[in-house]
Amino acid sequence: MIRKKCGKCSITKLTSEFYVYRGRPQSPCKSCRSNEQKNRLNKLKTTHVCAVCALPFVTSRSYQKTCSTKCRHQFELNKKYKSYSGKNRPTLTTCKSCGETYHFDKTHQKYCSKQCQELARKVRNKIWTKANREHINRLSRLRHNTIEAFCVICDKQFFKSNSSRRVTCGEVGCRRARAALNAKLWKDLQRQPFACRGCGKTFFRLSSTTACSGECKKLIRLRDHRKWRALNVQKGRANSIKQQRKDRAILKAAKALINEGKLVI
């Protein structure tokens, strides 16, 4: 194995302990280089004051302004919520539920925790209930004025208010069966007798169709196409006859002008 002497610690080591540049091991060795870098960083270490919590901390980075990740996030929030006038918006606010001071993350935040938010919601509900007590009592009276009824699907007994038009007990299967029954009844009401344009038979239709089957639909389409073609042929013949009459009138007027000498060709 090839060995080399380190120029820093004067110890002969394997070439794998050195950094290689252009195929040659470079002195000093890797351990000496790391020690030099650590010593250089220790010399650069200075004491800074955190820009958020105002606590002192030691660092080798001259640009570092915060002592921890939490303070760094808060510092970024301060920069994010900077106003146009150049002054920082206050990130400390008072919780509207417990009254404690806290750092907010969002501009519309009002409470310091979910517990305070839930407590405030309960207080608001109590205030709203007290202000709308008459309306709640009226609804409860309507709700308690119930009558006995039976489901039209399963014959199960249920209770409903006087103003309700329920006819089912409320089960999912009964509601779906009632909806299907209503749809079927509606289709039966919409059915109207109509004479087929193709074969002349009477059938019940749900839409604006005029044929009772696909064959009659093809027959009607073929018949309409023949009528349209015959009508266009008649129009073309009529137009050609009109054009011939116009040409004859023009020639007659031109001959009259030539005879009178008013038109020279």
Mean pLDDT of 23-45: 81
* The two three-digit tokens of residue 259, written as one number: 């005879």
Return the pLDDT at 140: 74
Task: For residue range 5-14, list pLDDT tens digits in order.
Answer: 888 888 888 8
Q: Which two tokens stand for residue 48?
A: 């800074």
pLDDT for 144: 65
Indicate if the pLDDT at residue 65 is higher than 50. yes
Paired tokens of 42 = 């220790």
Q: What is the pLDDT of residue 143?
A: 66
Residue whose token pair is 């044929």: 211
Asked if the model's pLDDT at residue 43 lies above 80, the reply is no
**Residues 134-184: pLDDT tens digits?**
888 777 766 666 778 888 889 888 878 777 788 888 888 888 888 888 887
Q: What is the mean pLDDT of the chain?
A: 80
CB atoms within 10 A of CB 151: 19
Confidence band, pLDDT 50/70/90 cuts, at residue 86: very low
**Cβ atoms 48, 30 nearer than 8 A:** no
Whole-angstrom CA distances from 160 to 78, 138, 146, 148, 174 are 58, 16, 5, 7, 16
* Closest alpha carbon to 216 in 231, 232, 202, 230: 202
Average pLDDT, stretch 101-128?
84
Q: Residue 83: which pLDDT band, with cuts at 50, 70 and 90?
A: very low
Whether residue 77 is predicted with pLDDT greater than 80 in this model: the reply is no
Q: Which CATH class is domain 1-44?
A: alpha beta
CA 74 – CA 62 distance, rounded (Å): 20
Q: Are 263 and 257 in contact (CB under 8 A)?
A: yes
Whether the predicted pLDDT of 235 surpasses 60 = yes
Handedness of CA 110, 115, 121, 127 (dihedral sign): negative
Q: How confident is the model at residue 84 (pLDDT cuts 50, 70, 90)?
A: very low
